[in-house]
Structure 1
Amino acid sequence: MQLDRIHISLSDQQLVGYAEGQVVCRYAVSTALNGAGEAEGSGCTPRGRHRIRARIGEGQPCGAVFIGRRPTGEVWSPELAATFPQRDWILSRILWLCGEEPGFNRGGDVDSQRRYIYIHGTGDDQPMGRPLSHGCVRMRNTEMVELFARTPVGCIVQIDA
């Protein structure tokens, strides 16, 4: 069943997917270590109403590594992570967010899309349920693949503190 709305709670570190008003999926996530905020360069997760602008990674293996929204050909492993400890791992799939509220999360220095805010997979060594990202919404890779399959371009994403 395709989702028509996603709600992300920063306080609960949880993503809930809805279809026709019913909860159809629920996942623990990891949002920004710096908390909630919309400003470019803040390292914060933006709040408010968004939509899915683009779906990236269809057909890639679970754990596929992305840099600049392009697959590198690598698949994440603990060994790869140890080789590149400085990387902010964007894995498996990307749901790129676009703000829907001009002046709050769209346009100027608060534009979620231009800040490259995604929902994406992350390394298996990263905990969920705790804010640790650089602004994006991180998920377990297998759960990210599941969510991606259910989420169309244009799906509404509400992010609340």
Structure 2
Amino acid sequence: MIDNQKLGLELRINIAEQTLTMYQQGIEVCRYAISTAQNGIGSLQDSGCTPLGAHIIAQKIGGSQPINSVFVGRVPTGEIYSAMLEEEYPERDWILSRILWLAGLEEGNNQGSNGQGNCDTYQRYIYIHGTPDNQPMGIPRSHGCVRMRNQDIVELFTQVAEGTPVSIVAD
């Protein structure tokens, strides 16, 4: 079991740069190109936006699945993503390989609700997950989640634990 507090691991997602950086005891260990929400920054239910603020990895899903495994409702379908499968299901928002399900830590900002409605990152199903490798990184294209290359999410998944701090910043 990975003990992130002992290792001092934390993740920082920078929306302006479209990067996810892992730090260990404040020192940058690795950096990945990502894709956040096409609709921009926000925390409200059904906004299609990526929420800002302090989060943790609440659940890790899919560790035993092959790379490019397809998930629907956080459950592996048994399918392996391919261009032919994408043609068959063009409406799917592809969630592939691994899921790091985030939970917000800031009441009224990314946890619970506020005067405008539900703003809870966990209840909004905001993840860090794999996406088809033909999708561009470095460009906001998601429906709110943080998309990564499949090889990158598999690598990251092995280095973090549930409870790892994740900060999402605008710049």
TM (norm. structure 2) is 0.92
Greater CA drift, 131-140 or 20-29: 20-29
Please name the residue that 1:100 is paired with: 105
Secondary structure of 1:79's counterpart equals helix
Q: How does 1:63-142 map to 2 (within 5 A)?
A: 63-108=68-113, 109-142=118-151
Residue 145 of structure 1, aligned match among 128, 133, 154: 154
Please name the residue that 2:61 is paired with: 56
Secondary structure of 1:119's counterpart equals strand
CA drift of 1:59 comes to: 1.1
CA drift of 1:156 comes to: 0.4
CA drift of 1:117 comes to: 0.1
2:167 maps to 1:158: yes
Deviation string, structure 1 residues 103-146 (Cα, Å, up to 9, x no partner): 10000200000000000000111100000000000000000000
Runs of 4+ in 1 over 4 A off after TM superposition: none
CA drift of 1:57 comes to: 0.3
Please name the residue that 2:34 is paired with: 29
Task: For structure 1, list consecutive stretches of 5 or more residues without a partner in the other structure.
Answer: none
Amino acid at match of 1:110: C
Following the alignment from structure 1 to structure 2, what is the Cα–Cα distance between the partners of residues 125 and 117?
A: 22
Task: For structure 2, list consecutive stretches of 5 or more residues without a partner in the other structure.
Answer: none
Q: What is the count of residue pairs matched by the alignment?
A: 161
TM (norm. structure 1) is 0.97
Please name the residue that 1:17 is paired with: 22
Deviation string, structure 1 residues 65-91 (Cα, Å, up to 9, x no partner): 000100000011111111111000000
Following the alignment from structure 1 to structure 2, what is the Cα–Cα distance between the partners of residues 150 and 22?
A: 15
Percent identity of paired positions between Structure 1 and Structure 2: 54
Please name the residue that 2:44 is paired with: 39
Please name the residue that 1:5 is paired with: 10
Secondary structure of 2:135's counterpart equals coil
Amino acid at match of 1:120: H
CA drift of 1:35 comes to: 0.3
Amino acid at match of 1:36: I
